Structure 1
C-alpha cells in the first residue's frame, strides 16, 4: 500500500509531499491529521487507487 502526506510550509521551507510505501496507512493518516488538522484530510478513490487527500485537492 502507498500513501502520501503533505506538510505545511514554514518560514524556512515550502510545503512538501511525502510518498510512503512502508508505513501503515493509519500512521500516515495520524501524521497528516497532526500536521494539517482533522478537518483538512480525507480518503478519496481515483482510478482504482485510494488516496489520502487534503480538502484543497478534492
Structure 2
C-alpha cells in the first residue's frame, strides 16, 4: 500500500481535464492524485477555492 493525496473543494475533487488543464470531478475516483502532500497543497493553492481539504488515500500497488 501507498498513500496518495487528492484535493477536495466543496463536494468536488481536482482532476485533470481533457485539455490537460485542471478540472473538477464529482467523485473521488476521478480525482487527480498527487504523490506528496506538498504537491497537492501547491495544486490546491493554485486551483481550488479557499476552504479546500487535502485527503489522504491509501491505494494498493500491484
Same fold (TM over 0.5): no
TM-score, length basis structure 2: 0.40
Which structure carries more relative contact order (alpha carbon 8 Å, separation 6+)?
2
Between structures 1 and 2, the one with greater helix share: 1
